[in-house]
């Protein structure tokens, strides 16, 4: 105590030795306090844009703040703690700052939209990152033609490397791929090379292929330092080119890197597979930004094709690719405000369909009896779109793409009718290639009137004739717009997918289930939607091996459980004999060990079941594109399942609007 008093006296002497008065010191203290508050507020407002996504977190910390204040008052700190006033002042100050900050924070998807069709007022970005220039192969890596080494010109060599990298892939065995590749490769050759290289079968790319395999293996064997250096360079590019400024928001860009040249693969048996995807240059690029922004600079010695200032669109750059003549875009990341708003609107449109779907179904059922054939065809097509979640089927030029069809473009050869099959009446068998050349095969019983109409549509037609010869996508879409503003086949698909998920979750979720069992129920509900939408995939190449590894883990865990149960039995016998605290404690430890191993075993078994059920089903497509994320978020909140168990980091960023918006009682 004496030491403390002496210390305070010495401190007071030191304070007054600089001849400053109490009044001056108080004034100086107040000034510093104001500067500190201003500094904090400045920092707070500089991160306002960051907090757009984290309003919930601000509220959470403010709630903790208030709980601390309550605790202070409850413990009567005023009497016991000389610093109570300062603590309470600071806590109140932080609470006030939090509320001020919240008053400025408007969640991005709640912001007022422009009414003139504009998507933005200000847009600034750095432009795209181009693929690195071609690096010629070392002299020791040679190309052989008809058994003899041959030095290729740089353009011809580059295209040859594209083929050599794919030697182990089945694409290079397909005739159409080889034919298209050779045709485009010859366009890059010199006249001398063209005269010599006339047969692809005489070309030997083996040394090239082995060189690229060695390069790939070398990358895997890189040291941590080398990998870190590459990571840092990639991060630098992301920071420089991966963001744009749109209306005072720093938005992430989705695909700021231009795709490198290569060989077109396509899906299914695409007629253009093997063709050369040419290198995209600055002269091919159209830049879109605001007039008053700092325009992106093209690489030295080049220029952009055009610089536009179109605020009615959201793309930042575009170019036309040479294979199909389609326009490619650099767009914002799915987590951006505009993308989030578009997603929200898509699901809200599907929700609107819920209010009028019964009326629409009644109408198309009435139209099955129409006197006009075109109306009957339209009604049956709409029935298939509704019941089977078929795509409408876009019109396309013959021979330009793979032979894929949708509902409106079905041909006679794609449909078979069975008055009775497997104890079911009026069965229709569908067998055709849908989007991405995925086979759609389904046998379904339909209503009698639909079956009779299909028989009528098939009369006097050849296998290659259209099933709906008086219907196309334009006619169908026009009719859908008349039924409901904004209605399309995709809206029907989204509606049926989301409704199916919601119903399946209600049926499959058991309140008493563990978290892993609930996740299995969620995946089963998701699988029902994927089957409805025909979202298939080939089983992963490593599927069998991974399942064997998982089965080995299950067997090991079962052995552990058996041993743990025996140990528990022995511990119980010891306790029965001695009745002391030590043996009682041992029983409790062994019991907990058994419970822990049982939980671990159940997780592994659930994982094995989940993998087996979904080996040929692509759950991600429907989850990202057709299922209202608010259904999943509400389900997670209702049953205490972490959202990270359902959505990965990228998906959580994409659906941040839904995570913020949906409560546990949300209904689609």
In a domain, 475, yes or no: no
What's the pLDDT score for residue 85? Answer: 59
**Domain count for the chain:** 4
Structure tokens that stand for 341 in this block: 């708003």
- Residue 649: pLDDT above 70? yes
Same domain, 203 and 231: no
**Distance, CA of 257 to CA of 287 (rounded, Å):** 14
CA distance 20 to 325: 80
Asked whether residue 172 falls in the same domain as residue 277, the answer is: no
Contact of 259 with 279, CB cutoff 8 Å? no
SS3 230: helix
Question: For position 84, what pLDDT does the model report?
Answer: 54
Domain at 557, CATH number: 1.10.132.10
Per-residue model confidence (pLDDT) at position 620: 76
Q: Is the pLDDT of residue 508 over 80?
A: yes
Strands (E), 299-410: 306-308, 317-320, 327-330
The answer to whether residues 261 and 323 belong to one domain is: yes
CB 453, CB 389: distance < 8 Å:
no
530 and 546 share a domain? yes
Residue 275 is assigned to a structural domain of this protein:
yes
In this structure, the answer to whether residues 507 and 652 fall within a common structural domain is yes
- Band of residue 30 on the pLDDT scale cut at 50, 70, 90: low
Note the pLDDT tens digit of each residue in 164-190.
999 988 889 999 999 999 999 999 999
With respect to residue 398, please indicate whether it lies within any of the assigned structural domains. Answer: no
**E runs forming strands in 220-340:** 243-246, 249-252, 262-263, 276-277, 286-288, 306-308, 317-320, 327-330
Answer yes or no: is 439 within a domain.
no
Q: Are residues 29 and 46 in the same domain?
A: yes
pLDDT in tens, 42-80: 333 333 333 344 444 454 555 566 555 555 555 554 455
pLDDT digits (tens, 9 = 90+) for 341-375: 889 999 999 999 999 999 999 999 999 999 999 99
CA 274 to chain centre: 28
Average pLDDT over residues 542-563: 84
Q: How would residue 138 be classed by pLDDT, with cut points 50, 70 and 90?
A: very high
Residue 203 and residue 244 in one domain: no
What is the predicted pLDDT for the residue at 82?
Answer: 54
Instruction: Check: CB of residue 522 under 8 Å from CB of residue 646.
Output: yes
Residue identified by tokens 């809200």 is 348
Average pLDDT, the chain: 83
For residue 67, tell me if it sits in a domain: yes
269, 217: one domain: no
Claim to verify: residue 550 and residue 535 sit in the same structural domain:
yes
- C-beta atoms surrounding 56 within 10 Å: 10
> 655 and 577, same structural domain?
yes
- CB 442 within 8 Å of CB 429: yes
pLDDT of residue 156: 95
**Structural domain range at position 175:** 143-221
Q: Which of 240-249, 577-586, 620-629 has the lowest mean pLDDT?
A: 577-586
Region 250-258: mean pLDDT is: 91
Distance separating alpha carbons of residues 438 and 431, to the nearest angstrom: 11
Residue 395 confidence (pLDDT) = 54
518 shares its domain with 577: yes
| Catalytic position from the list 440, 522, 626, 647 | 626
Residue 619 in contact with residue 298, Cβ under 8 Å? no
Handedness of CA 36, 42, 45, 47 (dihedral sign): negative
In a domain, 71, yes or no: yes
Chain centroid to CA 38: how far?
41
Tell me if residue 626 is catalytic.
yes
pLDDT reported for residue 249: 87
Q: 644 with 557, same domain?
A: yes
């Amino acid at each position: 105590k004496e030491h403390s008093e002496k210390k305070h006296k010495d401190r007071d002497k030191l304070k007054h030795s600089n001849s400053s008065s109490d009044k001056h010191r108080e004034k100086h203290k107040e000034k510093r306090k104001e500067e500190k508050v201003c500094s904090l507020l400045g920092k707070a407002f500089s991160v306002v844009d960051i907090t757009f996504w984290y309003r919930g977190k601000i509220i959470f910390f403010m709630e903790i703040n208030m709980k601390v204040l309550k605790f202070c008052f409850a413990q009567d700190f005023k009497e016991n703690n000389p610093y109570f006033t300062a603590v309470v002042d600071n806590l109140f100050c932080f609470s006030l700052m939090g509320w001020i900050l919240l008053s400025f924070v408007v969640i991005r998807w709640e912001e007022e939209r422009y009414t003139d069709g504009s998507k933005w007022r200000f847009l600034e970005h750095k432009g795209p990152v181009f693929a690195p220039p071609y690096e010629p192969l070392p002299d020791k890596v040679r190309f052989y033609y008809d058994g003899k080494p041959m030095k290729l010109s740089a353009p011809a060599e580059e295209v040859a490397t594209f083929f050599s990298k794919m030697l182990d892939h089945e694409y290079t065995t397909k005739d159409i791929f080889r034919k298209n590749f050779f045709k485009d490769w010859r366009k890059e050759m010199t006249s001398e090379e063209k005269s010599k290289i006339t047969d692809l079968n005489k070309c030997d790319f083996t040394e090239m292929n082995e060189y690229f395999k060695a390069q790939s293996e070398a990358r895997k064997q890189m040291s941590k330092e080398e990998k870190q250096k590459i990571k840092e360079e990639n991060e630098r590019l992301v920071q420089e080119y991966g963001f744009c400024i749109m209306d005072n928001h720093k938005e992430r860009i989705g695909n700021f890197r231009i795709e490198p040249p290569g060989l077109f693969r396509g899906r299914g048996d695409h007629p253009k597979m093997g063709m050369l995807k040419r290198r995209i240059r600055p002269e091919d690029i159209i830049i879109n930004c605001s007039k008053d922004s700092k325009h992106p600079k093209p690489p030295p010695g080049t220029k952009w094709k055009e610089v536009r200032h179109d605020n009615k669109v959201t793309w930042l750059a575009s170019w036309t690719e040479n294979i199909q003549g389609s326009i490619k875009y650099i767009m914002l990341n799915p987590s951006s405000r505009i993308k989030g708003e578009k997603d929200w609107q898509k699901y809200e449109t599907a929700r609107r369909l819920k209010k009028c779907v019964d009326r629409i179904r009644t109408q198309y059922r009435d139209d099955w009896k129409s006197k006009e054939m075109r109306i009957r065809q339209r009604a049956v097509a709409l029935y298939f779109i509704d019941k089977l979640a078929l795509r409408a089927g876009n019109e396309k030029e013959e021979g330009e793409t793979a032979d894929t069809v949708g509902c409106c473009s079905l041909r006679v050869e794609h449909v078979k009718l069975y008055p009775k099959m497997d104890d079911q009446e009026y069965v229709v068998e569908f067998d055709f290639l849908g989007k991405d050349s995925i086979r759609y095969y389904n046998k379904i019983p339909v209503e009698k009137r639909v079956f009779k109409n299909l028989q009528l549509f098939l009369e006097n037609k050849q296998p290659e004739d259209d099933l709906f010869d008086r219907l196309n996508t334009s006619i169908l879409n026009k009719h859908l717009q008349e039924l409901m503003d904004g209605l399309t086949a995709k809206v029907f698909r989204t509606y049926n997918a989301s409704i199916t998920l919601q119903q399946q979750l209600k049926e499959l979720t058991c309140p008493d289930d563990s978290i892993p069992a609930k996740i299995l129920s969620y995946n089963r509900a998701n699988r029902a939607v994927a089957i409805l939408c025909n979202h298939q995939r080939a089983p992963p190449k490593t599927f069998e091996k991974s399942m064997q590894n998982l089965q080995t883990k299950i067997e090991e865990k079962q052995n552990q459980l058996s041993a743990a149960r025996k140990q528990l039995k022995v511990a119980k016998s010891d306790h029965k004999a001695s009745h002391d605290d030590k043996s009682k404690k041992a029983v409790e430890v062994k019991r907990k060990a058994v419970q822990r191993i049982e939980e671990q075993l159940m997780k592994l078994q659930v994982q094995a079941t989940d993998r087996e059920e979904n080996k040929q089903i692509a759950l991600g497509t429907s989850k990202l594109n057709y299922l209202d994320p608010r259904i999943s978020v509400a389900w997670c909140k209702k049953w205490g399942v972490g959202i990270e168990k359902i959505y990965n980091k990228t998906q959580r960023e994409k659906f941040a609007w839904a995570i913020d918006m949906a409560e546990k009682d949300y209904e689609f």
